[in-house]
Structure 1
Amino acid sequence: MFGRRKESVEPTVENFEVEETTAVPGVPQKKGRPTPKRRDQEAARRQPLVPADRDAAKKQAKQEARAQRLKSREAFARGDENALPKRDRGPIKRFIRDTVDSRWNIGEILLPLMLIVLVMTVVPNRSFQMGALVLVWVVIAVGVIDCVLLWRRLKKQIRARFNEDPPKGSRSYAIMRAFQMRLSRMPKPQVKRGEAPR
């Protein structure tokens, strides 16, 4: 046993498992270029803290800020959910806006009527002035009654449609929109008068 010589086995292809390297489709095998050094990448990204032309940089920054403000204002006017403030967000608030915008509201004529009455007060006729003031108070009273009826109907519709109570502040939200002129409402009306809310 001690003097027995071990037979030397020469490595052949049969003694080893040969791994087949198959190319996976869609996966690149090599980059074909060396990996850039870290300092070279950092140097390429490095920018001066102070631009060479400060006036041009300031002007460009103002133009970019102005363009961003205009873009946000247009998105808010369209009623895009991401551009709306917190008080205008959500499907219930959208439903309130659409309901108010789809009807004629007495409160809409209040501001134009105030301007007419202001002109009427210049007329040197005491009875004429009193009649104009009475007309304003009558329109205000009718507008308040109209808003009360609007809110009662809105509350029922919200409960039936969304299976929940209106969020806090919804009543004042609906009333304030009903008293605004249609052209001055923001976000702008998305439905026509007489059209069903979405």
Structure 2
Amino acid sequence: MFGRTKEPAAPAAPEGRPTAAPGAGKGRPTPSRAEREAANRRPLVPADRKAATASSKDALRAERRRVQLGRINGEEKYLALRDRGPVKRYVRDVVDSRRNLGEFFLPFVLVLLLVQLAVSSSGNSVLFLASYALLYVGLIAVVVDSLLLRRTVRRRVTAKFGADALVRTGVVGYAVMRALQLRRSRIPKPQVRRGDAVG
């Protein structure tokens, strides 16, 4: 009662939390909200609109070129939906590895038309009828070759991917349409040579 008064004890710091030394900080003031918004602000209209438009057009042109090259080279992410997937890639390889009569049909028809024009001016009806007969013979040959390709594709796709892949992906029509195109104009371009074995 008459003894010395005890000084109150300082509150203990919570465990695991270091006590900051007085006067110590992060070394820079905390930015205000207005300063942070000003740093993130971008002008809606650029200062040089002509240069900005030109650079935007260049970027779009480069992107389109990259997509086009990707489609031509068969890169999966750039392909159209009808060309995507391992089944379609396999069918393309099967078609491109064989010699298809359909790809020669269009040049054959153009040559026959030129022959018919030349023959009709000369008045030779025998040659004119012979050119028509050749046209029908070529058409029948293309139909027969397409039927053989159809059977080959059905058999090989079923053996490799199962019968469900035929219905799910529509590969038979896809194969026939590709076989009717000129080899140089096919997109994606052929990844195998004629006569290569496709597993």
Band of TM-score, shorter chain: 0.7 to 0.9
Deviations 1:13-70 (A, max 9, x none): xxx9x9798xxxxxxxx97655544433332222211122222222221111111110
What is the match of residue 64 of structure 1?
59
Name whichever of 129-138 and 152-161 sits farther off.
129-138
Q: Tell me how far apart the structure 1 counterparts of residues 171 and 27 of structure 2 sit (CA, whole Å).
A: 63
List gaps (5 residues or longer) in structure 2: 19-24
SS in 1 for 2:193: coil
What is the match of residue 117 of structure 2?
122
Report the Cα offset of residue 83 of structure 1: 0.7
What is the match of residue 25 of structure 1?
none
What is the match of residue 137 of structure 2?
138
Deviations 1:105-151 (A, max 9, x none): 01011011111112112213322222222212211111111111111
What is the match of residue 154 of structure 2?
155
Report the Cα offset of residue 73 of structure 1: 0.3
Aligned pair in 2 of structure 1 residues 135, 54: CA closer, same or farther (>3 Å)? Answer: same
Between Structure 1 and Structure 2, how many residues are aligned? 186
Q: Tell me how far apart the structure 2 counterparts of residues 145 and 54 of structure 1 sit (CA, whole Å).
A: 61
Aligned pair in 2 of structure 1 residues 33, 59: CA closer, same or farther (>3 Å)? Answer: same
- State which of 74, 83, 86 in structure 2 corresponds to 1:88: 83
State, as a whole percentage, how many aligned pairs show the same letter. Answer: 42
TM-score in terms of structure 2 length: 0.79
SS in 1 for 2:191: coil
Q: Does 1:195 align with 2:196?
A: yes
Aligned pair in 2 of structure 1 residues 19, 74: CA closer, same or farther (>3 Å)? Answer: closer
Aligned pair in 2 of structure 1 residues 77, 34: CA closer, same or farther (>3 Å)? Answer: farther
Q: Which has the higher helix share?
A: 2
Name whichever of 175-184 and 121-130 sits farther off.
121-130
What is the match of residue 170 of structure 2?
169
Name whichever of 141-150 and 52-61 sits farther off.
52-61
Name whichever of 147-156 and 35-44 sits farther off.
35-44
8 Å CA contact 1:110, 1:136 repeated in 2: no
